[in-house]
Chains A and B, each alone.
Chain A
């Protein structure tokens, strides 16, 4: 088992004819992801990397039985792309575009949640269940080497750090059950705690790693779930961005979501609250394997 995606996941690609989509589709197919269709309005009947392209998601689903979508549509088209996919019965989506307008993101997430669909992103490099399936560019050309299969659930607010964490796990002889890059936009489809609750229910996940940043409340919600006993598997946390505390509130240095607005938003506050809730907080990547092996 894994969460969100597995060997049986049948993937369609929205915006399949764009440059980034073509680049990623090749690597995903090589990895073994069962990509079954592309969708680009107006380009129905063409093919991309040997895949049939359809004008609508509904037509693609009818012809191929796709149940997940990799959304390469640019930010301004993301809301409609998500609504269309959810309408056609897609239940897992990865949305890669960055800087989706906030009202569009809220509407897309509301539509997905109302239908019981899950969005990874916005502004994600994807999700991977090592050895089984990946959606998006996650892992690039060396997904097999960087993301080893294993029993650790990884949830990262940074796509780059999801690679660094899993690469470190691989080098330590460990691996991931699933690795979710949550997305760096201010509104994302799933709360970090919701991803961890999925790992909690997954019999093939023994422990979780989270990568957090300043700003927002994802990490605080994880701490609350730990305190309340909703999460019982060990949680190892790396929270970056302490340097931001040297600067005034409200200054953005990275992801737009990573803006400190209140006292509990800082990296130090999040570390402290997680430690108090029973999480193991790492000072660096290199420390993580030892913390995982504490059992």
Chain B
């Protein structure tokens, strides 16, 4: 989950890192009041999850309260990276003499740090035009990033010696903040240096690990990360699946709606990817993608509910890889619950079941109690099940 600038900076400020004073405003009037309270030169910034805000006009400097109100009026409502700006961040502006860059993220096995003497600009552009200006290193997560490790990095980045101690200390403390937040990414761009050689965290973006929210009660109830494919907001069925995933314990469900007509109830990550490829190769189009690692019947039932509620779906493949951790009956029981509560008739809405594994005989007997369910013969391949559902959906009404 992405933390916007206000929350990212609040986290850093609480750890006594040098963050300029700033607060959030939803109206020009509020922005002006904050500016008058802070005094001096003010930066007004669009509070949206978008990089390159400055270039798009989403960041403005203003000298007094009135100018801040005008800047806020111009920015509020602005469309940035497909999002409408509803709030601005009003912050004491820093007199910048030099700008640097630091970010933390993850490599293949361990956290990584990137530092650069070229801050305040688009880092992808620096990486393309001047790769030597970036210094990247893995961080041993058991040891952390020590001040002298960071000093070495800034040295290699070509920073003048006088600034290295301060930058190294700040970098080590930013790593601690990154780690303590369970962040997946923390980017400070720029770190600003004033004429009197003070450092400030001027730009900060942070992405935190949804899987670690149990350690961060303050962030648990923030809005859902609602980017569907192409950045569209989640629809009601997708939201219902996310809500069910959070509500019921054990396992996991994911659901993304697509424009086709074959509902996909697939599991096991990779096997689901393969079946989606196979549906496309058969000339048909999925109505959704899904993924499931079930533990109890609530989550799979919620996933069935979403597929049945999708007006685009004309049939469904329940394409499980050979089950190894769970009885087949769990999937069929969830299906029967959802069929009943959504009043779906498999004689009109074809459903192909490839559900093999423990308790398969009992699962077959359960499925046989509902007319129309098409349970694949034992040993049928993933490919055969895909061919079966494509033929059945193509045959509707003919």
Query: A residues touching B (Cβ–Cβ < 8 Å)?
Result: 20, 23-24, 75-76, 98-104, 106-107, 109-111, 113-114, 125, 137-142, 146, 156-161, 163-164, 167-168, 171, 184, 186-187, 191, 211, 213-214, 216-217, 238, 240-244, 247-248, 251-255, 258, 267, 284-286
Contacts and interface: CB of A to CB of B under 8 A. Distances in A.
B280 A243 contact: yes
Interface stretch (B11-19, B39-47, B89-97, B268-276): B268-276
B312 interface: no
Interface in B236-280: 252, 254, 256, 267-274, 276-278, 280
B252 A137 contact: no
B358 A140 contact: yes
8 contacts: A140-B322, A158-B268, A159-B321, A160-B322, A160-B324, A191-B109, A217-B108, A285-B381
Contacts of B108: 187, 191, 216-217
A200 to B, nearest CB: 20
A104 B209 CA distance: 11
Contact of A240 (B111, B277, B323, B324): B277
Contacts of B162: none
Contact of A163 (B140, B182, B277, B322): B322
A106 B106 contact: yes
Contacts of A214: 273
B211 A100 contact: yes
B276 A243 contact: yes
B291 interface: yes
Given A100-B211, A253-B289, A285 B382 contact: yes
A101 B208 CA distance: 10
Given A160-B322, A164-B382, A103 B212 contact: yes
Contacts of A164: 271, 321-322, 382
A284 B384 CA distance: 12
Nearest to A146: B322
Given A161-B274, A186-B106, A240-B274, A103 B182 contact: yes
A186 B267 CA distance: 18
Nearest to B323: A140
A253 B252 contact: no
B324 A125 contact: yes
Q: A-B pairs with the 4 shortest C-beta distances?
A: A158-B270, A160-B268, A160-B321, A140-B324
Given A140-B357, A160-B269, A114 B142 contact: yes
A242 B256 contact: no
B395 interface: no
Contacts of A186: 106
A113 B321 CA distance: 32
B141 A110 contact: yes
B383 A284 contact: yes
Given A111-B142, A156-B270, A184-B269, A285 B383 contact: yes
Contact of B111 (A106, A140, A244): A106
Contact of B106 (A98, A159, A187, A243): A187
Contact of A286 (B230, B323, B381): B381
B311 interface: no
Contact of A160 (B230, B270, B383): B270
Contact of A253 (B231, B256, B278, B321): B256
A251 B209 contact: no
A214 B154 CA distance: 34
A99 B253 CA distance: 12
A255 B270 contact: yes
Contact of A251 (B106, B140, B229): B229
B179 A103 contact: yes
Interface residues of B, number: 52
A213 B334 CA distance: 28
Given A107-B141, A253-B276, A286-B381, 19 more contacts: A20-B295, A98-B293, A102-B106, A106-B111, A110-B109, A110-B140, A113-B109, A138-B324, A140-B358, A142-B322, A164-B322, A167-B322, A213-B270, A240-B270, A241-B277, A242-B280, A253-B273, A254-B254, A286-B383
Nearest to A139: B324
Contact of B214 (A76, A113, A184, A247): A76
B325 interface: yes
A103 B270 contact: no
Interface string B312-332: 000000001111110000000
B184 interface: yes
A76 B212 CA distance: 8
A116 B267 CA distance: 33
Q: By CB atoms of chain B within 10 A, which of A100, A168, A241 has the most?
A: A241
Contacts of B209: 101-103
A292 to B, nearest CB: 17
A215 to B, nearest CB: 10
A160 B271 contact: yes
A166 B323 CA distance: 13
Contact of A106 (B109, B212, B256): B109
Contacts of A75: 211
Contacts of B106: 102, 106, 186-187
A137 B323 CA distance: 9
Contact of B277 (A160, A161, A243): A243
Contact of B269 (A107, A168, A213): A213
A101 B212 contact: yes
Contacts of A267: 277
Given A99-B252, A109-B109, A137 B182 contact: no
B110 interface: yes
A244 B231 CA distance: 15
